[in-house]
Structure 1
Amino acid sequence: MSVATRAALLPGTDLGRDSTERGQFRARELSATTVLITAVGEIDAANSGELLRFVEKLLADYDQLVLDLSQLGFFATDGYSALHSIDTRCKRRGIDWVVVPGAEVMRVLRVCDPEGLLNTAGNIVSAVAALARGPHTHLQLARAVK
């Protein structure tokens, strides 16, 4: 799968940044229910846990997550472990999410996720559109009923 041209960031509220030795993470609120988290630089054993913690601290406030990894220059299998953990935590909380992979992430996903179980999109706009279409989890529907 080839990655389409990167979309410009959508207007939103800047939720902050976190830098590591190898990478930088930033978050923007796209809507009251959707957060965009972007990673730039590298994801490897040294900072994959920091990416996971950065995502984790924002999950409680949103129903949808777009994780933009299209600007990474390096993505190790430790990064896939972080993605798997994010997937598990999102499923538990009923959060719909999509990964926007770049070439480095796709290289690892071809090996670690050959069935394509992680939801991916070619760019940010496509990811937001996919979230708007669903799928919506049972937990989210239960939250709406309460």
Structure 2
Amino acid sequence: MPSIDHLKFSTEWLAPFEVRITVAGSVDAANAAELSEYVLRRGANSRHLTLDMTGVDFLSTAGFSVLCSISERCARANVDWTLVSNPTVRRVLDICDPHLTLPLAS
């Protein structure tokens, strides 16, 4: 699992066009761009992307902004995506995304 500034990523292809990207660690302004680049590069050929952030122990507003950008890019590319969160991530989403525009897994 590659690590960038205390952020770890892994990619698992579940089917030819279905990918699960797992993120662990702290997402902040110092590494939010790397998160975006990793997800967009590794999920480029998918039709369904699951972004598993259950291992994230800190999510800054810069990280939230990256999630919004990923959502926009997926919409433009016609990629269905799902965000798997945890209480830490959900707390930020509750504040920054009160209308639940991001596709959270139930």
Task: Answer whether contact 1:25 1:38 (CA < 8 A) is retained.
Answer: yes
Residue 81 of structure 1 pairs with residue 81 of structure 2: no
Name the structure with the higher strand share.
2
1:62-81 correspondence to structure 2 within 5 Å: 62-81=46-65
Large movers: runs of 4+ above 6 Å: none
- The size of the alignment, in residue pairs, is 106
- Distance in 2 between residues matched to 1:69 and 1:28, nearest whole Å: 14
Q: Secondary structure in 1 aligned to 2:2?
A: strand
CA distance in 2, matches of 1:97, 1:29: 14
Specify the alignment match of 2:86 in structure 1.
Answer: 102
RMSD of equivalent CA atoms:
1.0
Between structure 1 and structure 2, the one with the greater Rg is 1
Equivalent-residue separation in structure 1 for 2:61 and 2:91 (angstroms):
10
Q: Residue 96 of structure 2 aligns with which residue?
A: 112
SS at match of 1:39: strand
Instruction: Name 1:32's counterpart in structure 2.
Output: 16
* TM-score normalised over the length of structure 1: 0.70
Q: TM-score normalised to the size of structure 2?
A: 0.95
Q: CA deviation at 1:61?
A: 1.1
Mapped contact 1:18–1:54 kept (Cα < 8 A): no
What is the one-letter code of the residue matched to 1:37? Answer: I
> Runs of 5+ in structure 2 lacking a partner?
none
Distance 1:71 1:59 in 2: 19
Which whole-Å deviations, capped at 9, do the CAs of 1:37-96 have from their partners, x for residues lacking one? 000111011111100000111232110100000111111111100000000100010000
Identity of aligned residues (%): 38
